[in-house]
């Protein structure tokens, strides 16, 4: 595609999206359904200096279906990377590769190399249990255990033996809830079931639960798709705060959300990583036609 | 048979008339209902009233004909006592159908028998005529009533609704009938034996003395030893079934691959299909002697019919109840909870122990309670393997007896229905019914409460 004049296109992400709503309704190109060539090369810089996680030539197969095709991507320290793309593009699948959650699906087969701090996580000798403690995950739908709020948080530290005494455990619970911005709301009812909280509170409880085992990377799979706008705002605020201490990868359907919370954005299309770059660049000056079509709302 | 043909014919006629009324296929949209509904409507009118009349006729025919035959007998033969008259009528009926007759056949009896046969054949004919004419008349009326405005669908559905209600009523009424009959017989029992003696008596020896000098007939009706025996056997059974059933459920639900699971689960459920008699003789002929020999080899006194043998086999029998129900509830625990646990770095066994089982526990409890009520009500295995003597003991190596075994022994053979011995069976049955009903209600309540949690 032609390189566009940067001066004219330096609009903010918000205006692009607002315009997209007007255009997208009328103009629907067929681009969304056309697959890319198999040897397609990702546009943008996939590598970063001093990455926390580094993926090389990752392929995922569901039985015969080639769900992720030759993806290279680095995930930088203390940064939020957003993964966007139309439904079925493989962004969630890719996310689940990062802590080997795909292992729980029998027909799923992953090839390539994913390194976490220079350790290959798909090494046969590697135990997946400590890996998942290092790379935590927050799911699309809040899924607190049917236990008390306290027990929800204490679950992880208990199974990993992170707290030697009850007092230490209490401290971990308080710290995790405080980091998730939930402590003030629930400190008087820690013994009540976690399922009794509101949706947004449940999701923050799940984030607190993940923080409690002190991971290095937190994966979030559309963490706000089941929440109302106010709860979403709170979770987004939280993600921004968590960036100081953790590396975060977030899958989202909301481009506003990607623009608000992330520093880098990766656009996936039918299993290919099409384009990756700084969030501002992706939303203001996308370099690939598919990225542009998607963020301007022509398809997806 | 004729009626069925008639109904089919009525269906055809009704359907055709509905079409004719509106002027053929093209007018179907002017009809209120689809043509087939008019057919069903006519057929139902042709069939149901006729069937009803036939049913009533058949249920009264016998007694009416008998009365007529008795009236036809000479007066001196009628004026005997009712018992003799009954015998006589029986003889006449046997004579009429060509069976062996107990008394000497004289001419009056022969005539009466001929009279009976004649009445019967007239009755049959009349029935046929009446039923067919009712069917024709009702069918014709329905046929005439067909018009574009008639709401045939609503009416047919009303009748079908009625049929469905009647079917479900049959099951409910049968249950009510059983409960009432057990209840009334039990009341008769409690007139003879005080309720407190029955509930709290420690001795069970249901022989009633017919004469004052009879020995060994104390007539004690304390149900406690029986319930103790029942509980002992059921407890052993649950001790076997709960761990094995639960662990196999966990294996099937969380460890086994889908292919293995699709084979293993039906095979496990075959256990539930083995007739209890088969379990019974397995317990009595194979397991009980084996346990006795084993016990003797380590110097224990084991009775050849022991609570242990019955309990073990019963435990095997109820494994599928526990495992199948537990498997269902373990599967009902959402995958998202498992994912959450795995994502925190929990191993599979930690996930099962700390997340899946606690979440599924109420449902598992419900399954166990259902299995327990099944064990308490089980009869055949304990009849064959547990013994008959009412020992009040907690030693599983001794022979015990259970409520169900005693009910069987009380009611097998010739019985008089006014003695406390026979009526005791009903009281035991009532008690057993109350206990298992209670367990079932509690179990269903728990299971239902649990199901709502995730929906």
- Tens of pLDDT, residue by residue over B243-288, are 999 999 999 888 888 888 888 888 888 888 888 889 888 888 888 8
**B135 plus B226 within the same structural domain:** no
| Pairwise pLDDT comparison (A29 vs B400), residue with the higher score | B400
Predicted complex ipTM: 0.80
Q: Which of A24-38, B197-211, B433-447 has the highest mean pLDDT?
A: B433-447
pLDDT at A6 over 60: no
Q: Residue A157 has what pLDDT?
A: 92
**B228 plus B112 within the same structural domain:** no
Structure confidence at residue A3 as a pLDDT band (50, 70, 90): very low
In a domain? residue B204: no
**B304 plus B400 within the same structural domain:** yes
Contact residues, chain B, for A139 at CB < 8 Å:
336, 339-340, 343
CATH number, position B244: 1.10.3720.10
Question: Which of B150, B165, B181 is the last residue before a domain boundary?
Answer: B150
> B262 in contact with A at a CB cutoff of 8 Å?
no
Contact residues, chain A, for B336 at CB < 8 Å:
139, 141, 143
Separation in Å, CA of B246 to nearest CA in chain A: 21
Contact B38, B18 (CB under 8 A): yes
Question: Which CA distances in Å does A281 have to A252, A292, B169, B254, B394?
Answer: 18, 11, 73, 46, 81
**B224 plus B110 within the same structural domain:** no
In a domain? residue B85: yes
Question: Which of B124, B150, B176 is the last residue before a domain boundary?
Answer: B150
SS (H, E, C) chain A: CCCCCHHHHCCCHHHHHHHHHHHHHHCCCHHHHCCCCCCCCCECCCCCCCEEEEEEEEEEEECCEEEEEEEEEEEECCCEEEEECCCCCCHHHHHHHCCCHHHHCCCEEEEEEEEECCEECCCCCCCHHHHHHHEEEECCCCCCCCCEHHHHHHHHHHHHCCCCCHHHHHHHHHHHHHHCCCHHHHCCCCCCEHHHCCHHHHHHHHHHHHHHCCCCEEEEECCCCCCCHHHHHHHHHHHHHHCCCCEEEEECCCHHHHHHHCCEEEEEECCEEEEEEEHHHHHHCCCCHHHHHHHCCCCC
**B243 plus B356 within the same structural domain:** yes
**B309 plus B411 within the same structural domain:** yes
Contact residues, chain A, for B340 at CB < 8 Å:
139, 143-145, 206, 209
| Pairwise pLDDT comparison (A50 vs A39), residue with the higher score | A50
Q: Which domain holds residue B393?
A: 220-454
**B296 plus B401 within the same structural domain:** yes
Q: Residue B424 has what pLDDT?
A: 84
Q: Residue A90 has what pLDDT?
A: 86
Q: What is the mean pLDDT of residues B224-245?
A: 90
In a domain? residue B187: no
Q: At what angle do helices A149-160 and A199-212 cross, to 10 degrees?
A: 20
Q: Please give the tally of structural domains in chain B.
A: 2
> B411 in contact with A at a CB cutoff of 8 Å?
no
**B34 plus B145 within the same structural domain:** yes
How confident is the model over B139-190, as pLDDT tens digits? 888 888 887 777 888 888 888 899 899 999 999 999 999 999 989 888 888 8
Contact residues, chain A, for B337 at CB < 8 Å:
143, 145-146
How confident is the model over B319-367, as pLDDT tens digits? 988 998 888 888 888 888 999 999 998 888 999 988 898 888 888 888 8
Out of A106, A143, A156, name the one closest to residue B336 (CB): A143
Question: Which of B134, B150, B166 is the last residue before a domain boundary?
Answer: B150
pLDDT at A16 over 70: no
Structure confidence at residue A1 as a pLDDT band (50, 70, 90): very low
| Pairwise pLDDT comparison (A26 vs A166), residue with the higher score | A166
**B262 plus B340 within the same structural domain:** yes
Contact residues, chain B, for A146 at CB < 8 Å:
337, 358-359, 453
Q: Residue B253 has what pLDDT?
A: 87
> B351 in contact with A at a CB cutoff of 8 Å?
no
**B232 plus B379 within the same structural domain:** yes
**B52 plus B138 within the same structural domain:** yes
In a domain? residue B161: no
**B339 plus B244 within the same structural domain:** yes
For residue B267 the two structure tokens come to: 């095979």
Q: Which of A53-57, B12-16, B55-59 has the highest mean pLDDT?
A: A53-57
In a domain? residue B230: yes
Q: Residue A30 has what pLDDT?
A: 45
Q: Residue B241 has what pLDDT?
A: 93
Count interface pairs A-B at CB distance under 8 A. Answer: 69
> B359 in contact with A at a CB cutoff of 8 Å?
yes
In a domain? residue B15: yes
Q: Residue A8 has what pLDDT?
A: 40
Cβ contact B345–A156 (<8 Å): yes
C-alpha to C-alpha distance for A213 and B342, rounded to whole angstroms: 12
In a domain? residue B234: yes
The answer for residues whose C-beta is within 8 angstroms of residue A183's C-beta and 6 or more apart is A174, A177
Q: Residue A20 has what pLDDT?
A: 40
How confident is the model over A85-123, as pLDDT tens digits? 888 888 889 999 998 888 888 788 888 899 998 888 888
Q: Which of residues 149-178 of A touch B (CB under 8 A)?
A: 155-156, 159-160
> How much of chain B exceeds pLDDT 70, in percent?
92
Q: What is the mean pLDDT of residues A254-270?
A: 91
In a domain? residue B210: no
pLDDT at A27 over 70: no
Q: Residue B451 has what pLDDT?
A: 60
> How much of chain B exceeds pLDDT 90, in percent?
10
């Amino acid at each position: 595609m032609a390189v566009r004049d940067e001066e004219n296109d330096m609009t903010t992400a918000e205006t692009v999206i607002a315009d997209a709503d007007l255009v997208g309704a009328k103009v629907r190109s067929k681009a969304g359904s056309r697959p890319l060539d198999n040897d397609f090369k990702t546009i943008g810089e996939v590598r970063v200096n001093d990455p926390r996680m580094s993926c090389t030539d990752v392929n995922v197969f569901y039985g015969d279906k080639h769900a992720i095709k030759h993806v290279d991507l680095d995930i930088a320290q203390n940064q939020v990377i957003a993964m966007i793309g139309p439904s079925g593009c493989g962004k969630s699948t890719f996310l689940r590769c990062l802590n080997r959650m795909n292992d729980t699906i029998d027909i799923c087969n992953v090839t390539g190399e994913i390194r976490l701090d220079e350790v290959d996580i798909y090494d046969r000798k590697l135990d997946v249990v400590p890996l998942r403690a290092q790379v935590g995950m927050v799911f699309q739908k809040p899924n607190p255990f049917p236990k008390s709020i306290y027990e929800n948080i204490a679950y992880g530290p208990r199974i990993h033996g992170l707290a030697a005494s009850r007092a230490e455990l209490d401290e971990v619970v308080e710290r995790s809830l405080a980091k998730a911005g939930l402590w003030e709301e629930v400190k008087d009812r820690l013994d009540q079931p976690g399922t009794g909280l509101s949706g947004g509170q449940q999701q923050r409880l799940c984030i607190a639960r993940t923080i409690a085992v002190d991971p290095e990377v937190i994966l979030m799979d559309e963490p706000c798709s089941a929440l109302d706008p106010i709860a979403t705002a709170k979770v987004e605020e939280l993600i921004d705060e968590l960036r100081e201490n953790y590396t975060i990868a977030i899958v989202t359907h909301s481009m506003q959300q990607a623009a608000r919370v992330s520093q880098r954005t990766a656009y996936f299309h039918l299993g290919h990583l099409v384009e990756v770059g700084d969030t501002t660049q992706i939303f203001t000056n996308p370099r690939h036609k598919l990225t542009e079509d998607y963020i301007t709302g022509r398809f997806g | 048979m004729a009626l069925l043909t008639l109904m089919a014919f009525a269906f055809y006629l009704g359907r055709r008339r509905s079409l004719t009324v509106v002027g053929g296929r093209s007018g179907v949209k002017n009809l209120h209902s689809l043509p087939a509904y008019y057919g069903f409507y006519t057929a139902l009118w042709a069939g149901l009233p006729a069937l009803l009349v036939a049913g009533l006729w058949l249920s009264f025919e016998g007694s009416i004909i008998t009365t007529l035959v008795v009236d036809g007998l000479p007066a001196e033969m009628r004026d005997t006592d009712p018992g003799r008259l009954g015998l006589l009528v029986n003889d006449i009926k046997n004579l009429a159908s060509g069976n062996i007759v107990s008394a000497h056949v004289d001419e009056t009896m022969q005539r009466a028998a001929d009279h009976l046969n004649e009445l019967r054949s007239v009755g049959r004919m009349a029935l046929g005529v009446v039923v067919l004419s009712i069917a024709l008349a009702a069918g014709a009326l329905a046929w005439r009533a067909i018009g574009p405005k008639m709401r045939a669908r609503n009416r047919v559905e009303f009748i079908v609704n009625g049929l469905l209600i009647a079917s479900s009523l049959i099951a409910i009424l049968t249950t009510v009938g059983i409960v009432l009959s057990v209840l009334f017989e039990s009341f008769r029992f409690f007139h003879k034996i005080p309720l407190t003696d029955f509930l709290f008596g420690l001795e069970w020896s249901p022989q009633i003395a017919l004469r004052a000098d009879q020995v060994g007939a104390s007539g004690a009706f304390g149900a406690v030893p029986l319930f103790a025996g029942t509980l002992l056997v059921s407890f052993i059974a649950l001790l076997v079934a709960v761990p094995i059933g639960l662990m196999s459920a966990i294996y099937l639900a969380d460890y086994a691959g889908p292919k293995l699971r699709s084979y293993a689960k039906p095979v496990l459920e075959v256990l539930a299909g083995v007739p209890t008699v088969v379990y019974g003789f397995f317990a009595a002929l194979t397991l009980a002697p084996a346990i006795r020999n084993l016990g003797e080899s380590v110097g224990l006194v084991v009775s050849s019919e022991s609570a242990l043998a019955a309990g073990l086999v019963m435990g095997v029998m109820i494994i599928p109840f526990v495992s199948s129900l537990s498997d269902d509830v373990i599967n009902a625990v959402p995958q998202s909870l498992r994912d959450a646990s795995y994502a925190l770095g929990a191993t599979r066994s930690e996930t099962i122990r700390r997340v899946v089982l606690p979440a599924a526990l109420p449902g598992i409890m419900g399954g166990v309670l259902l299995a327990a009520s099944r064990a308490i009500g089980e009869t055949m295995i304990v009849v064959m393997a547990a013994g008959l003597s009412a020992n009040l003991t907690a030693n599983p190596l001794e022979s015990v007896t259970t409520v169900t075994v005693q009910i069987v022994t009380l009611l097998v053979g010739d019985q008089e229905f006014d003695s406390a011995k026979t009526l005791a069976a009903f009281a035991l049955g009532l008690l057993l019914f109350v206990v298992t009903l209670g367990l079932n209600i509690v179990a269903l309540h728990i299971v239902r409460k649990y199901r709502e949690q995730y929906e």
